[in-house]
Amino acid sequence: MRISELSRRSGVPNATIKYYLREGLLPPGRATAATQAEYDETHLRRLRLIRALTGVRGLSVASAKHVLDAMTAHRTDLHEMLGIVFGIRPPGSGTPDAAEGGAPAEANPEAAALVDAMGWSVSEHNPARRTIDETLRTLRSLDIAYDWEALLPYAELAQRTARHDLDRLETVTDPMEKAEQAVLLTFLLEPALMALRRLAQENESTARHGGGGHNSA
């Protein structure tokens, strides 16, 4: 397809596609003339992944390039590739995303205890570890008695959710499409998952406390 068709199908403007080509995010097409080239479905899938990384995950163009390069290097290692896409594994030392790697496990002891109790095999540098410890410290600073053991029921639900996520990805065979869906399912679904919790909380409150003021209209 010509670049105009690639733009139409991907929803990415011509000028942006040319910018991605110059910056190396998108590989060059097959030259058909001195100033013309043809592109294929591989370019379309990569463009969609670039949009997911920059528009959904919020990476800069430079960071997205590091992620794409790292994914290409680990194309045959699905576990490593998904770790890079999810932001669990830094795409390379000294890259703009390297700070996402987080602190070693010993810096987040409550998360480490939770991970051990669940029997999970996860990276010591997963940034979610730091989030757990910081959240628990904040709760206790507000005089709310909460520790890692109180998170175990949530961890069990999260494990079921993760299993469902990965089951869905198993149906996708193309690595670039799998990576794109991984980004979209992870980052776009998170607000919906939180919304489901709010709905469930209202339902549970209604069941327990009567909900006399509930408006079903």
Q: Show the tokens assigned to 124.
A: 């010591």
Q: What is the pLDDT of residue 183?
A: 83
pLDDT at 102 over 60: no
Question: What does the mean pLDDT of the chain come to?
Answer: 85
- pTM here is 0.71
- What Cα–Cα distance (Å) separates residue 121 from each residue in 35, 116, 117, 137? 51, 9, 11, 24
Q: What is the pLDDT of residue 185?
A: 83
Q: Which residue has the higher pLDDT, 27 or 135?
A: 135
pLDDT at 96 over 60: no
Taking the C-alpha atoms of residue 117 and residue 149, their distance in angstroms, rounded to an integer, is 9
- What Cα–Cα distance (Å) separates residue 21 from each residue in 37, 46, 80, 167? 12, 11, 26, 34
